[in-house]
Amino acid sequence: MKLLFVGVQGSGKGTQAKIVSEKLGIPHISTGDLLRGAFGELKNEIDSYIAVGKLVPDELMLRVLQDRLSLNDCVGGFILDGYPRNMAQAKKLDEIISIDKVIEIVISDEEALVRAIYRVTCSKCGEGYNTKTNPPKRAGVCDKCNGVLTKRADDNEQAMLKRIGIYHKETEPILLHYKSVKVNGEQKIDRVTEDILRALEI
């Protein structure tokens, strides 16, 4: 099953993609992880853009993604998280692969804002926490690996409002392009997972 998880930043799409990928036995492909994990010539190309604060061009992102989707573990399907972000990318993706189902994890703009402001991430293993709703047992320390919890510099109200605006303007139109199913992301994590599996008819 070839799946696409979509949602505004803070919706929990990465968390859900990770959980559902383990349940279905298919890889969770995060474009952020792909860019960070690239090597060889691709890595050099990617770094040349990131080093000067530029976005990685769509053509390069598609090449990185195509390489990943060609690996054997994707034969039975995958969950794509973080791509496409706009209609131009969606049309390019359609040229290389057909998506079976799109899950949109829906939260309000207000909830997205709260989640971003209180979000911290483990610098060692990547585990995420919310200091208000899902705090670690010890402040500043990851429950899983004892790594240091850090906050993104752009997880502030002004930056988040900008990201929310971009999501509504550029990413939401792809939900009309694909056949998407809405899932309420403002529930407990396990309830969101149940709703996703139900939507996938599993």
Q: What is the per-residue DSSP string for 72-141? A: GGGTT-EEEES---SHHHHHHHHHH---SEEEEEE--HHHHHHHHHTEEEETTT--EEETTTB--SBTTB
Kindly indicate whether the domain formed by 2-199 is annotated with CATH number 3.40.50.720.
no
For residue range 149-161, list pLDDT tens digits in order: 999 877 788 888 9
One of 2, 18, 101, 163 is an active-site residue; which one? 163
One of 13, 132, 162, 188 is an active-site residue; which one? 13
Please identify which residue in the block is written with the tokens 């850090």.
Answer: 150
Alpha carbon 175 to its chain centroid, in Å, reads 15
How many CB atoms sit inside 10 A of residue 128's CB? 16
Q: Is 119 a catalytic residue?
A: yes
Q: Is 13 a catalytic residue?
A: yes
pLDDT > 90: percent of the chain: 63
For residue range 21-78, list pLDDT tens digits in order: 999 999 999 988 888 777 778 888 888 887 787 778 888 889 899 989 999 999 999 9
- Would you give the end-to-end CA distance of the chain in angstroms? 11
With beta carbons less than 8 A apart as the criterion, state whether 65 and 33 touch: no
For residue range 93-148, list pLDDT tens digits in order: 999 999 999 999 999 999 999 888 898 999 988 888 989 888 999 999 999 999 99
pTM, 2 dp: 0.85
Averaged over 74-88, what is the pLDDT?
Answer: 94
* Residue 120: per-residue pLDDT: 93
Tokens representing 89 are 């990318």
* Residue 38: per-residue pLDDT: 77
Q: Is 163 a catalytic residue?
A: yes
Q: Categorize the per-residue pLDDT at 202 as very low, low, confident or very high, splitting at 50, 70 and 90.
A: confident
CA-to-CA separations, 157 to 74, 128, 177, in angstroms, rounded: 37, 19, 30
3-state secondary structure (DSSP) of residue 1: coil
